[in-house]
Structure 1
Amino acid sequence: MGTDTVARTLAQASAILFDFDGPLCDVFAGLPAPQVARQLAQLAAPPDSVLSAKLADTDDPLEVLRLTHATDTALGLQIEQALTAAEIEAVAVAGDPTPGAVAALEAAQTAGRRVAVVSNNSSDCVHAFLARHSLTKHVHEVVGRPLHRPDLMKPDPHSLIRAADQLGTATTQCVLIGDSVTDIEAAHAAGSTAIGYANKPHKLRAFADARAEAITEHMQTIADAMQAPRSR
């Protein structure tokens, strides 16, 4: 799908929701996700536990949180705190924003769109990254991982519904830009549209199969498309 399709999708929305990890930032570029996942797994359970065996099968810190919380709520809260701390550490060494991300945020602001970041990462790490790169002024709301409720992370539509409410608009007037199938699923569950950011080649087919309204391989395309006249 080209710029025209992206532009048509954006033209229908009064609010632009950006997923964080991928579209705006490579969160674990400097502090690798598998390393964080291993550290959380070691904190979560002794080596011979059933939970430890489950955790050994994932290198995703968010999945460690999901599994731990589902097994033991109190332990899940401990892992949640540790994950948030690791995310804040990670975004401090993550490097620059995703190429084209700043231009996309600026274009959304210039076009008069309401903007929110909707992430499964903690709101604390999102705020830290935005502040570090002087991007806070481009974002009206940040909706991060639901506190103490990892079960409400995307693909659950909870965060999109909350973002729309905070932006003062309907979910049907929102478009989510995300780099995972769960983003597409969450957007559709909320009644929103979705643009898949295919930062890896295999995601092109995955997003098409998930029926994303538009797909782009470059965040700069979002900025360019935002400059197209809005349909009335």
Structure 2
Amino acid sequence: MNAAELLADAKVVLLDFDGPVTLLMPPPMNGEVADALRDVLRQHGAATGFPETTDHLAVLRWTAQHARSALEDVERAADELEVEAALRAVPTRGSAELLAHCREQRKPVVVVSNNAAVAVRAYLERWELADAVAGIVGRPQGHPERMKPRPDMIHDALALRGAVPGEAVLIGDSVTDIEVAQATGVQSIGYAKTPRRGEELAVAGADALAATITNLLLASGE
């Protein structure tokens, strides 16, 4: 099936947040947030060893594994900075229309994000989209090791709607989204925002690709 057919066939839509809904932390913001989390680690005496990356989620994962005593403070800083970013973020083109389409079709949408649920909620409320979402499964507080591509969050999202994997489709823009969809038996639509990303998602095993969210809607007859 193509992307539009997968969307039409699904009873529940699992939607990644950062990318398909909004670009939460465009450069250089992403690097600044990662730096801020490393500063918190330094305050806890972790002077070396943490990842030099612009991905703040990688810093969170590292903290959970190597500096557990600092996790509460690092996670609190991450939550606060994500909320700040969410209040400045703008919708990915077509994302609001996708939510409206799913609501009209009585397809509940559950946002499944490695970002904090409070940040997702702040964004949705700012853009008056909260009523278009049936649930939010955000980063497991205190347990960043359970983030995607671990299957836990997908299981939680399915349980929230009383659904089984074969009734759901996951729309995401990262290889980890495709990996977790395969691990849980959920169909996947890769949001291929660039040709290179499309190649990566295809290699990872995406069931279908959509170059834009708008194209996905147009193919669905919107």
TM-score interval, smaller chain: over 0.9
Residue 19 of structure 1: aligned partner: 16
Residue 102 of structure 1: aligned partner: 96
Residue 198 of structure 1: aligned partner: 192
Question: In 2, Cα distance between the equivalents of 1:225 and 1:167?
Answer: 26
- The one-letter code matched in structure 1 to 2:75 is E
User: Does residue 54 of structure 1 match 2:50?
Assistant: yes
User: Does residue 215 of structure 1 match 2:212?
Assistant: no
Which of 83, 86, 93 is matched with 2:81 structurally?
Answer: 86
- The one-letter code matched in structure 2 to 1:213 is D
Q: Count the aligned residue pairs.
A: 222
Question: In 1, Cα distance between the equivalents of 2:139 and 2:43?
Answer: 26
Q: What is the SS of the residue equivalent to 1:45?
A: helix
Alignment of 1:1-232 (within 5 A): 5-29=2-26, 32-45=29-42, 49=46, 52-55=48-51, 57-94=52-89, 96-227=90-221
User: 1:48: Cα distance to partner?
Assistant: 8.6
Provide closer, same or farther for how the CA distance between residues 47 and 115 of structure 1 changes in structure 2, counting only shifts above 3 A.
Answer: closer
Instruction: Describe the superposition over 1:31-76 as per-residue Cα deviations: whole angstroms up to 9, x where unpaired.
Output: 7110000111011126995x63332x21111001000111122211
Question: In 2, Cα distance between the equivalents of 1:225 and 1:168?
Answer: 28
RMSD over aligned Cα atoms: 1.9
Question: In 2, Cα distance between the equivalents of 1:186 and 1:68?
Answer: 22
User: 1:137: Cα distance to partner?
Assistant: 1.1
| Conserved? CA contact 2:38–2:50, under 8 Å | no
Q: What is the SS of the residue equivalent to 1:202?
A: helix
| Conserved? CA contact 1:40–1:79, under 8 Å | yes
Instruction: Describe the superposition over 1:8-28 as per-residue Cα deviations: whole angstroms up to 9, x where unpaired.
Output: 222331001110000001111
| Conserved? CA contact 1:31–1:90, under 8 Å | no
Which runs of 5 or more residues in structure 2 are unaligned?
Answer: none
Question: In 1, Cα distance between the equivalents of 2:124 and 2:81?
Answer: 17
User: 1:140: Cα distance to partner?
Assistant: 0.3
Give the TM-score normalised by the residue count of structure 1: 0.90
Question: In 2, Cα distance between the equivalents of 1:25 and 1:13?
Answer: 22
Question: In 1, Cα distance between the equivalents of 2:48 and 2:219?
Answer: 46
Question: In 2, Cα distance between the equivalents of 1:209 and 1:73?
Answer: 35
| Conserved? CA contact 1:197–1:219, under 8 Å | yes
Percent identity over the alignment is 35
Question: In 2, Cα distance between the equivalents of 1:144 and 1:108?
Answer: 20
User: 1:114: Cα distance to partner?
Assistant: 1.3
